[in-house]
Structure formats: structure tokens, C-alpha cells
Amino acid sequence: MDFDLTKDEIAFRDEVRQFLDDNLKQKTDNEFGVSFDADWNKKVREKRWVGFGWPKEVGGGGGTIMEQVILKEEMATRKAPALGTCFMGLAWVGPSIIEYGTEEQKKRFIPDILDGKYQWCTGYSEPNYGSDLASLQCKGVLEGDEYVVNGQKIWTSLAPFAAWMILLVRTDFDTQSKHEGITCLLVDMKTPGIEVRPIENMAGGRFFAEVFFTDVRVPVENRLGKEGQGWAVTVSALANERSSIAEVSALQRRLESLITTARQATRHGKPLLEDPGIRRQIARFEARIEAMRLNGMRYLTKQIKGEPLSSETSVNKLHRANLEVDMAEFAVEFLGNAGLHMRGSDDAVEGGKWIFNSLSWPDVVIGGGTPNIQRNIIAERILGLPKD
């Protein structure tokens, strides 16, 4: 066991630190860490730290797994904003295009993702098929050199703002298993026949939407991978983002912020942190977050050694889901009546951020596969229990 860095890794870490000393003007306090600072975005792009783990040939940085970890850790320690602005493009669309795309597709899309020219959205879920994604029914029919798409998607995050969509359609309805016959298309959101209807969530946000397709024509050159290969494309896309396994900086920041809130708050006239129950619960959160970090390091070590990972990432996903819900709920509860007050109220605590968090956890907890589905994955793929 060792946590030593090689000489090259140390040199790289120092380079990152120097860069941060020179260029970091504003820390982010929003938890998503988005940067609207054009100068920052340009500089990290020049460094090739956007898409840092992608191959150099496509414009990525060619960073090793360890270098990616170092970069993320240094950025997080200094509370620097995110690297790049195209969320889904960087998280899974780009990696899928790199793995399955044609040369033309790579040339056309990858530079724009790195530059953050526009947003991508993801058209997987349908009204009747959420967790059971592979049963999707949105239809694609090849006519000449175009796919004609008819059907509906739902919960499509960023659809109201995105320029492109990565879309799953069924091109074959007569297959042995539901995982066959699915095809992945890259769709220009301006194509005639696409209608986007935003959905408001309970916290008041309007980030996801229903998307309707009526005779939408998608050129065959925008198919990603082969016809019928859509499931494989999706699985590899969702398995991406490997170096972020160990990334817990957002949760660490939230823990710090929870401690600050508890330090400042009083309940019935007494400082909250004097209550051992409160302190213990915070320590309990800390143990989970630290366990996530170290689980991630263990799984990274496996990857570095070339051992296959099974579905271990579900372990941290479950922790994350629990922590998202529990930390916000804990704060709202201990703040009592003031905890219910939202932004704009004189009695709101820190702008009502905890009550807001307590209404926005579904982003993380449901968005990327629900906790029950993660439990199924662990039970079936790791423990070998029968499928239900």
C-alpha cells in the first residue's frame, strides 16, 4: 500500500498548483461548480484540461488515470470551477463518440464539446420505460439515407437549452431480447418535427422536458455505432467518467457547510453543536464521505492494475443517494421553523439553501438510476443472486 506519486505525477501536480496560483480568481460556491468566466474556460482549454482523459488525437489531454485524479483533486481543494461547460458532452456523449463514432463524427462534435459551444441532452427515458430502459419504444425507421423517428421521450434534462441530443430509438421490434434492436442517433434539436415541452420540478426549476418526435428525419451519418448496437453504446457511455469514482469534493464541501450552519445556529437558545447527537450525526456523514473517497481509491487501484471492475461504482452511488437526502433533511430538521424558510424570507437561514437542497435531491437520487436499481445491480452482478 502506498499513496506515493511518481516523479512525473509530482511535476504534474506542481504544474496544476502553479496554474491555480496564477489564474484562480474566483472560487465557486455553487455546488455544481460551473464557471461563467470566459477567461478561465479559455485557459483550462488551452491546457487541454477539458477532456483531459481523452486521447490527444481528438483534442483531449491524454492524461493517465492518476493525472486525472490529481487534476480533479487539486481543482477541488482550491474550490476551482469546473473544467469545461458542456456537461453531458464531457460526461458521456463525447466518450461514446470517441469509442463508437466515425472520423467525421469525431471531427464534427468533439471540438465543440471541448469548447463548450453548446449543450447536449440525453433522450433515453420514455413515459413507460424508466428503470426498464431497454424496453424503450420510440421508433426509428430507415428510409433511404434517413431515419424517420416517431415517439416520445421524457425527463430529458437540458432539452430546452440543448442544441443536440443523443437519442435511443428502436429500429427492430422483432428481436429475441429487448436489448437488441436499439439504435443510437445524434439529433440536431432544430430538426423539424421535434417539440420540447419543459416540465417544472418541485423546487421550481424547469430543466427537464418532454420531447415529442413526429416524422423527424435524421441523416444516417448521424447514427452512432451500428444499427442495433445502441445498447452497447449506452452501457459503455454510462460506465464512463472513471476518474471521477473517487471524486467526493462536492459532498466534502457540503459537509463543511453543514458544520458551519450547525456552528452558527442555536435551537431554543442553545448552540446546536453542543448537542452530542448533532455532532455524532455529522461525524457519521463524514465517515460515509471518507469511505466513498477511499472506496474510489481502491477501485482506481484495481483499474490501474488492469483488473476488471464489476459494478462497484454502485456502492458509491448508493452512498451518494443517501447522503444527498439525509444531509439536507438533517439540516432542515435541526433548524426547526427557520429551516422551512425559503430565499426572500427574513428568517431564512443562509438564503434557504438547506430547504432548497431538501427539494432537489432527485437530480442525483433518481436521475442516474434509482437506489433500488443500484441494489439490484449489486445483488445480481456482484453477489450473483437471481434476477427478479
C-alpha cell at 106: 469525431
Stretch that binds another protein, among 87-95, 149-157, 192-200, 279-287 (CB under 8 A): 279-287
- Does 376 engage in binding with another protein (CB under 8 A)? yes
**Size, binding site for another protein by CB under 8 A:** 49
Cβ–Cβ < 8 Å for 118, 158: no
Q: For residues 119 and 295, which CB has a smaller minimum distance to another protein in the complex?
A: 295
The distance of closest approach from Cβ of residue 64 to ligand FAD in the complex, given in angstroms and rounded to an integer, is: 30
Residue 202's binding partner out of another protein, ligand FAD, none, with CB under 5 to 8 Å set by partner kind:
none
- Does 284 engage in binding with another protein (CB under 8 A)? yes
Instruction: Out of 241, 286, 290, 329, pick the active-site residue.
Output: 241
- Does 291 engage in binding with another protein (CB under 8 A)? yes
- Does 202 engage in binding with another protein (CB under 8 A)? no
Cβ–Cβ < 8 Å for 311, 377: yes
Q: What is the DSSP letter of 203?
A: T
Between helix 313-334 and helix 276-304 the angle, nearest 10°, is 160
Residues of the shown chain interacting with ligand FAD in the complex, contacts defined by CB under 6 A: 121-125, 130-131, 155-157, 208, 362-363, 366-367, 369-370, 372-373, 376
- Does 379 engage in binding with another protein (CB under 8 A)? yes
**Where would I find the H helices in 174-308?**
230-238, 249-264, 276-304
Cβ–Cβ < 8 Å for 87, 96: no
Say whether 210 is catalytic.
no
Cβ–Cβ < 8 Å for 213, 197: no
Cβ–Cβ < 8 Å for 146, 217: yes
Give SS3 for 375.
helix
Q: What is the DSSP letter of 131?
A: S
Residues that bind another protein (CB under 8 A): 1-5, 66, 259, 262-263, 273, 276, 279-280, 282-284, 286-288, 290-292, 294-295, 297-298, 300-302, 304-305, 312, 315, 318-319, 372, 374-376, 378-380, 382-388
